[in-house]
């Protein structure tokens, strides 16, 4: 069987990272080789780009610069890590991919959803996930969860309050638009209930 590409999306603090770990364990138990990665980052160059993007002192960063940096990180990750893994029949799990750019830059920043999709497809040579889980939650809850973990806010988490509201709305629009690929998850449900849904959908994909 050829490799499959599964992405996990949602506003900050929506619980997707916990679910990726559970999905990875599950697939490994089933005997699959699994590569788990994340955006922005996942490569040496990507980690440097990530540091620029999240650095709170980069207050002067324009929305276009921000977009191009996310795309640069994605181009590198796709070419160097994701495509080779898929070619060698691995299951690839990725924490965020182009739906993040559509929700954050396209919709929340107002740069245009279709344009962000087109740019992203150019950056990745047309790679589209086989399956995407979008974790939805009420604005505010995700960042509250994160602040309870005691980590200082990064540049994107420090945006004005209504930014996260727009991101949440952005993800609803994305889920509506790409119904055939996206499974919507209630990020406020408990971990095991959410994982039961994810496991069923993954089983549907791997047959
Ligand atoms: P990260 O700490 O990885 O967030 P999380 O743990 O919630 O996934 O930080 C990544 C931040 O970058 C997050 O606020 C979402 C944002 N982002 C975009 O704005 N556009 C993108 O294309 C991507 C991949 C991430």
What is the pLDDT at residue 140? 81
CATH code assigned at 94: 3.40.50.300
Q: How confident is the model at residue 86 (pLDDT cuts 50, 70, 90)?
A: very high
pLDDT at 198 over 80: yes
Q: How confident is the model at residue 142 (pLDDT cuts 50, 70, 90)?
A: confident
Average pLDDT value over all residues in the chain: 95
What is the pLDDT at residue 85? 98
Tokens 């990272």 belong to residue: 17
What is the pLDDT at residue 66? 98
Q: Which residues have C-beta atoms less than 6 Å from ligand 1?
A: 12, 17, 39-40, 70, 95-96, 100-101, 104-105, 156-157
Of ligand 1's listed atoms, the one at least distance from the Cα of 16 is 8
CB distance 67 to 105 below 8 Å:
yes
For the chain, how many structural domains are there in total?
Answer: 1
pLDDT at 1 over 80: no
Kindly report the pTM of this predicted structure. Answer: 0.96
Residue ranges making up the domain that contains 160 = 4-206
Q: How confident is the model at residue 175 (pLDDT cuts 50, 70, 90)?
A: very high
What is the pLDDT at residue 35? 98
Distance 101 CA to ligand 1 centre (A): 9
What percentage of the chain carries pLDDT values higher than 70?
A: 100
The token duo for 187 is 């990020």
CB atoms within 10 A of CB 44: 9
CB atoms within 10 A of CB 145: 15
């Amino acid at each position: 069987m050829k490799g499959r590409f599964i992405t996990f999306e949602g506003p900050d603090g929506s619980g997707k990272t916990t679910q990726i770990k559970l999905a990875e364990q599950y697939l490994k138990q089933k005997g699959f080789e699994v590569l788990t990665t994340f955006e922005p980052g996942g490569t040496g160059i990507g980690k440097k780009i990530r540091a620029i993007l999240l650095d709170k002192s980069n207050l002067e960063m324009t929305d276009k610069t921000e977009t191009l940096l996310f795309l640069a990180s994605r181009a590198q990750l796709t070419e160097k890590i994701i495509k080779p893994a898929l070619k060698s029949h691995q299951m690839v799990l990725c924490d965020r991919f182009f739906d993040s750019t559509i929700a954050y830059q396209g919709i929340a920043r107002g740069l245009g959803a279709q344009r962000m999709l087109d740019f992203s497809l150019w950056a990745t040579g047309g790679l589209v996930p086989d399956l995407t889980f979008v974790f939805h939650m009420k604005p505010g809850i995700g960042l509250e969860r994160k602040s309870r973990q005691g980590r200082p806010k990064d540049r994107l988490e420090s945006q004005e309050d209504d930014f996260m509201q727009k991101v949440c709305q952005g993800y609803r629009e994305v889920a509506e638009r790409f119904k055939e690929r996206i499974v919507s998850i209630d990020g406020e449900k408990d971990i095991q209930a959410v994982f039961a849904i994810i496991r069923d959908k993954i089983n549907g994909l791997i047959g």
